[in-house]
Structure 1
Amino acid sequence: MSRLEVLKTYKIYIGGQFPRTESGRYYIPTNYSGQKLANVCLSSRKDFRNAVVAARAAFGGWAGRAAFNRSQILYRMAEMLEGRKGQFIEELTQQDATREEAENEVNLSVDRLIYYAGWCDKFQQLFSSVNPVASSHFNFSVPEPTGVVSVIAPQQSGLIGLVSVIAPVIAGGNTCVVLASETKPLCAVTFSEVLNTSDLPGGVVNILTGKPSELASWFVDHMDVNATIYCESNSDTQQMIREKSALNLKRVFFYDQTDWISDAGQSPYFIFDTQEIKTTWHPVENIAGAGGSY
C-alpha cells in the first residue's frame, strides 16, 4: 500500500508569533507537476488587522534604534539564511525552480540582506541636506521612516522578491505587513523563521499567506497603514490602490517592472521610497563682539 504523505502546515507570522489564521481556512498549493506542497493558511482581514496592530506597536522601538544596530540585525538575518540554504533550495525546487536557479536565488537573497545592512547607517547622509536660506537660520532636511508599510510581494518569486521588498523597508526604520506569493508561499513562511531567530523584534516584519484578490483592498484601506507597495502589474488592482490610498494620503509604490534578480533589484532609493523628509529650522545666534555669526 502506498503511504499518504503528511503535508507540513505553514503558519503565518504576526508579532513574533506563529499563529494559524483566525479564519481556520487553508489552501494547498501545487507545482507544475501537480504535486501538493503544503497546507498553507488562507489569511483573513482580521489577520491583517492583527498584523497592523503588531507593526504599529513595534514601530517606535524599531525606528528609534541606532542605525548601526539595525544594520547588525539585517546582517544576522543574512547569517541565519546562509545557515539554512539547503532548506530554501529544497523548497524552491519544489516550487518549480531548477537546482541552479534555486542556489542562485538563495545566494542572491543572502547578498541582498548584506547590501541593505550596509546602507542602514549611510542612506541618511545620501538623502539629507543643509539648505541655503535667506535668513539667519540653519536649515536641515533629514529622512525619517514613514511608519507601517503594507506590501503585496512579487507573486512569481519564491524568495528573492520577498527579501528585496522587506529589506529596504526595515533598513529605513519602518515596520511592515507582507502578503507572500500565493502560488510560491513556502520560502516566505520559512523566512519568517529566519527572522524570528535573528534578533529582529517581534512585529517589525509580519508575513501573511493567502490571496491578493481577497486581501489587496484591506492592505490599502487600513487607516493605520502609512504606505503601500504593490509588486504586480494588474491594472485594476493598481487603480483600486490609487483610489483607496487617497483616504488617508498613503504613499503608494508600484514595483511591477523590477527584475529582482538583476542589479536593478537593489538600490538605496528603495529605502528612500518609504522615508519622509523632515526639515528643521534653527536660528543662528549672533554673538556680539565676535566678529560674525556662529
Structure 2
Amino acid sequence: MPEPAEPEAAARAALPVLKTYKLFVGGAFPRSESGRVYEVTDAEGRWVANAPRASRKDARDAVVAARGAFPGWSGATAYNRGQVLYRVAELLQGRRAQFRAEVAAAEGLSRPAARAAVDAAIDRWVWYAGWSDKVAQVAGAANPVAGPYFNLSTPEPAGVVAVFAPRDSSLLGLVSVLAPVIVTGNTAVLVASERAPLPALSLAEVLATSDVPPGVVNVLSGRAAELGPPLAAHQDVNGLDLTGISQDPALATDLEAAAAQNLKRVRRPSPAPEDWTTADQGTARLLAFLETKTVWHPMGV
C-alpha cells in the first residue's frame, strides 16, 4: 500500500478556496437581489474577484436597515459610540495583512506603500473615534440672549446618510468619509468604489464581527450611476456625501437636484483629487451631517 501523504504535502496540493464577496445590509451578507456580479481587476488589469452588483432594490433595503438602526445608534451615549468604533480599529489591526494585499492590488502600490496606507487608515479610524464625545463641544454653544433664559444649541445627527466612497483611495479614503458620518450618530449606506470595492466589502466583515449594531453601516458595491439616483431621491435618506462621484459633474448635479426634493444635506467636494494622507482631516466632515437643536429654558429665580 502506498504511504499516506504527509500533512504538509497535502496542504500544498489543496485547491485554493476562492472568496465570495457579498453585500452587507442590516448586519447580514446577502447576494445582490438581481443576482448580478461584475469582475474586479487589479491595477494592471488582471482579474482578482467577482463583486456583487447591487440593484435599486438592494439600495432600498439598505436604507430600511439604516433607518431601523438610527434610533438606537443616535440614542447611544457619545462615549459608547467611541468605544464601539475603537473596537473596529482593533479588528482592523488584526487583519492588516488581508487589507494590505487588497489595497496593493487595487491601487498598484508596493508592499511598503500598501502597509503605510493601511496603517494610516487604522490611525484615521481611531482619530475619528476619539471625536465621539468631543464634537458637541465644537458644534454646540451657550448663546447670549436678552432675557432670563438659558439658550443652548446642541448638535444632533441628521439621520441616514448615503456615502459614495472615493474612487482613488480604496481604504484610507473610504475610512475618511465613513467614520465621521457614523461617529456623530448617523447611520450610513456606503456605495463602495466601483473600480476597487474589495476593501469596503472586507471592512463590512470587520463591522459584522465588531460591536457596531446591525444596520448602522450598510455596504453596497456596483455602479454609482445606478445606485445614486434611488438613494438621492429616497425620502428616508437625509444626506448625501458625493465624494466618490465628485469627478463626474453631470451625475453629481443630477443627484443634487434629486436630493433637493426633501432638503437633504449634500456634501459635494471639489472635483480635484483630495489628499487623503493628511494626518489631520479637520472637523468639516464631522459637522457636515449634523443638525443644530436650540433650546430655551427659564433661568428661574
For the aligned pair, the TM-score class normalised by the smaller chain equals over 0.9
User: How far apart, in 2, do the equivalents of 1:62 and 1:40 lie?
Assistant: 29
1:205-244 alignment runs, 5 A limit? 205-231=217-243, 232-244=246-258
For residue 290 of structure 2, what is the aligned residue in structure 1?
275
Q: State whether structure 2 residue 118 is matched by structure 1 residue 106.
A: yes
Equivalent residue in structure 2 for 1:93, among 98, 104, 126: 104
Per-residue CA deviations over 1:168-224 (Å, capped at 9, x if unaligned) read: 011100000000011111111111111111100000000000011211111211110
Equivalent residue in structure 2 for 1:263, among 264, 272, 279: 279
User: How far apart, in 1, do the equivalents of 2:43 and 2:177 lie?
Assistant: 26
Given that 1:180 and 1:207 are in contact with CA atoms closer than 8 Å, whether structure 2 keeps it comes out as yes
How far 1:242 sits from its partner (Å)?
A: 1.9
Q: State whether structure 2 residue 172 is matched by structure 1 residue 160.
A: yes
SS at match of 1:132: coil
User: How far apart, in 1, do the equivalents of 2:269 and 2:207 lie?
Assistant: 23
For residue 90 of structure 2, what is the aligned residue in structure 1?
79
Alignment gaps of 5+ in structure 2? 1-13
User: How far apart, in 2, do the equivalents of 1:33 and 1:118 lie?
Assistant: 38
Equivalent residue in structure 1 for 2:67, among 56, 62, 67: 56
User: How far apart, in 2, do the equivalents of 1:194 and 1:247 lie?
Assistant: 35
User: How far apart, in 2, do the equivalents of 1:83 and 1:176 lie?
Assistant: 24
For residue 289 of structure 1, what is the aligned residue in structure 2?
none
How far 1:6 sits from its partner (Å)?
A: 6.5
Alignment RMSD (CA, Å): 1.6
For residue 120 of structure 1, what is the aligned residue in structure 2?
132
User: How far apart, in 1, do the equivalents of 2:19 and 2:168 lie?
Assistant: 22
Given that 1:7 and 1:37 are in contact with CA atoms closer than 8 Å, whether structure 2 keeps it comes out as no
1:119-198 alignment runs, 5 A limit? 119-198=131-210
How far 1:112 sits from its partner (Å)?
A: 0.6
Report the number of matched residues: 283
TM-score of the aligned structures, taking structure 1 as reference length: 0.93
Per-residue CA deviations over 1:243-270 (Å, capped at 9, x if unaligned) read: 1111000010013443212235x22231
Given that 1:119 and 1:268 are in contact with CA atoms closer than 8 Å, whether structure 2 keeps it comes out as no
Q: State whether structure 2 residue 32 is matched by structure 1 residue 16.
A: no
TM-score of the aligned structures, taking structure 2 as reference length: 0.91
User: How far apart, in 2, do the equivalents of 1:276 and 1:246 lie?
Assistant: 17
Alignment gaps of 5+ in structure 1? 287-294
The amino acid that maps onto 1:263 is: A
Q: Structure 1 residue runs of 4+, over 6 Å off? A: 3-6
How far 1:5 sits from its partner (Å)?
A: 7.5
How far 1:127 sits from its partner (Å)?
A: 1.2
User: How far apart, in 1, do the equivalents of 2:140 and 2:103 lie?
Assistant: 40
For residue 292 of structure 1, what is the aligned residue in structure 2?
none
Equivalent residue in structure 1 for 2:268, among 242, 254, 272: 254
Per-residue CA deviations over 1:60-101 (Å, capped at 9, x if unaligned) read: 000000111100111111100000000111111222222122
User: How far apart, in 2, do the equivalents of 1:170 and 1:89 lie?
Assistant: 24
